[in-house]
Amino acid sequence: MTNMKIYNKYIAAIVLSLVLASCKAPLATVVKDEVKENIPQNFNQQEQGDANNNSGTTPWRQFFTDPNLVSLIETALKNNQELMITLQEIEIAKSGVLAKKGKLTPTVSAGIGAGVSKVGRYTSEGAGDASTEIEPGKEVPDPLGNFEGGLIANWEVDIWKKLRTEKESAIAHYLSTVEGKNFVLSNLIEEIADNYYELLALDNQLEIIQQYTKLQEKALEISKIQKEAAAATELAVKKFEAELAKSKATEYTIRQQITEKENEINALCGRYPQTIVRSKGDFMAMIPQTVYTGIPSQLLANRPDIKQAELELKAAKLDVEAARKEFYPTLEISATLGLEAFKPSYLVKLPESVAASLVGELAGPLINKSAIKANFQTADARQIQSLYEYDKTILNAYLDVANLMSKVKNIDQYYKLKSDETKALEQSIDIANQLFRNSRADYLEVLLNQRDALDAKMELVEAKQKQLSTVVDIYKSLGGGWK
């Protein structure tokens, strides 16, 4: 008896040592977010930002004042397919949270079953059945049937909080998909606004080319009259005819661009081709809004893509923690309660037909942990990858705002100079035409002046479009558009 006690102690010691050995787990890589810690105080060293004044916090309905543009954005928010896909990703992530949450509670199932077995007569089970009487004079039937029904419960006790960690990771991933949806909203509104302003610019360029075509028609008439009066040659007539044909061809090119741009907006709105309602006359009179950048640290709270990357980093860290806990033993408890008998009529005989069991099992990985190690190493690598992605997102966000701030200033100066150039060339056209009528200027001078004026007007329209689009871009880069 004493030897048996000693033997049992040895067995217990060996089992305990094996369990403790299985608890040995590798350490995760410690990641440090230096980019977030070292973010500059201002976007521009020459200018100080105002934390109380940030256009990124302005709701898009207040930022955009054109009713036609607002209507297009509202349509896109209802019908855009990419946005609808993102919303389903949120639902998928939400289901993932529910699945992880469900693992924390026991699973209970109900079932019924029936079977038959035939054991050998000269076995311990067969000999036992043959010598057993269920009732006086009635032996156990052979073959022996089995009918059962009842409840089965299984529960993994979260002793290391592994399941809770997995649930927290699923929640972080779910929240990141919500921020991803916000980023899609921000991008969608930016795309609608940029394409809308490009469409208005094309409308104005079409008007300019139509005016230029009329100007060439008049110049052609004058060149023909001068040819009849021997004040010009056939070469001048042909040059103006060629220029007139070129301007008409350009008009069709712009019309095609307008059609494609309208359909691009329609695609963003999730609808079939139709005319885009817009105000064409006051495009050049539009004044870009003043944008206030605030301070760089506000990007961390305003930009959905940064918050999404931060939440993905949090989820990756939790995944590493959960993967590390796979090295620890798991405690599982299972229980059954029901009725069991070899004849259906005996199922109602209580308490003889009542069957129950309760089992607790503590088990941990001991040999061949390669799969667990691989899973841990994968989670650890993804954690580092998520950190780099987070750092890259912050850095790109800062550079976006810095570049666009510089672009806003430079495009304003560019627009002013192009406006001066256009005014001067328009005056030179009148002078050149007057001199041409009086045969004091060559037709080439008239053509060159008209072409230069046309190019300047077209570039001025493009500059206005870039002015408006740059303001939209910086608004989105500051985290605006999704609120």
DSSP assignment of 53-65 equals -BGGGS-HHHH--
Contacts of 162 (CB under 8 A, 6+ apart): 322, 325, 326, 328
Q: What is the pLDDT of residue 16?
A: 52
| Pairing mode, strands 138-139 and 133-135 | antiparallel
Structure tokens of 244? 């007139």
Show pLDDT as tens, one digit a residue, over the chain (483 residues).
Answer: 555 555 555 555 455 555 555 557 788 788 777 788 888 888 876 566 677 888 999 999 999 999 999 999 999 999 999 999 999 999 999 999 999 999 999 999 999 998 888 877 778 777 776 666 666 656 667 777 888 999 999 999 999 999 999 999 999 999 999 999 999 999 999 999 999 999 999 999 999 999 999 988 888 888 888 788 777 788 878 888 998 999 999 999 999 999 999 999 999 999 999 999 998 778 899 998 888 888 998 998 899 999 999 999 999 999 999 999 999 999 999 999 999 988 888 888 888 889 999 999 988 887 778 899 999 999 999 999 999 999 999 999 999 999 999 999 999 999 999 999 999 988 887 777 677 666 666 666 777 788 888 999 999 999 999 999 999 999 999 998 888
- Cis peptide before 351, with omega less than 30 degrees from 0? yes
Q: What is the pLDDT of residue 120?
A: 78
- Evaluate whether 24-105+158-329+371-478 and 107-157+330-363 have a shared fold: no
Domain ranges of the chain: 24-105+158-329+371-478, 107-157+330-363
Q: Is 439 left (phi over 0), alpha (psi -120 to 50) or beta?
A: left
- CA-to-CA distance for 454 and 460, rounded, in angstroms? 10
What torsion, rounded to 10 degrees, do the Cα atoms 408, 414, 419, 424 define?
Answer: 170
Q: Which CATH superfamily is domain 107-157+330-363 in?
A: Outer membrane efflux proteins (OEP) (2.20.200.10)
Locus of tokens 């909203």: 185
Q: Tell me how many helices (H) and strands (E) the chain has.
A: 12, 6
Q: What is the pLDDT of residue 479?
A: 93
Structure tokens of 35? 């980019």
- CA-to-CA distance for 14 and 73, rounded, in angstroms? 69
Q: What is the pLDDT of residue 459?
A: 95
Backbone angles phi, psi at 66, to 5 degrees: -70, 115
Q: Is 70 helix (H, G, I), strand (E, B) or coil?
A: helix
Structure tokens of 433? 């035409």
Q: What is the pLDDT of residue 221?
A: 87
Q: What's this model's pTM, rounded to 2 decimal places?
A: 0.85
- CA-to-CA distance for 382 and 375, rounded, in angstroms? 11
Q: What angle do CA 427, 433, 439 make, to 5 degrees?
A: 140
- Domain 24-105+158-329+371-478 maps to which CATH number in 3.90.1200.10, 1.20.1600.10, 1.10.10.10, 3.10.450.50? 1.20.1600.10
Q: What is the pLDDT of residue 342?
A: 82
Which of 155, 45, 59, 147 is CA-nearest to residue 104? 155
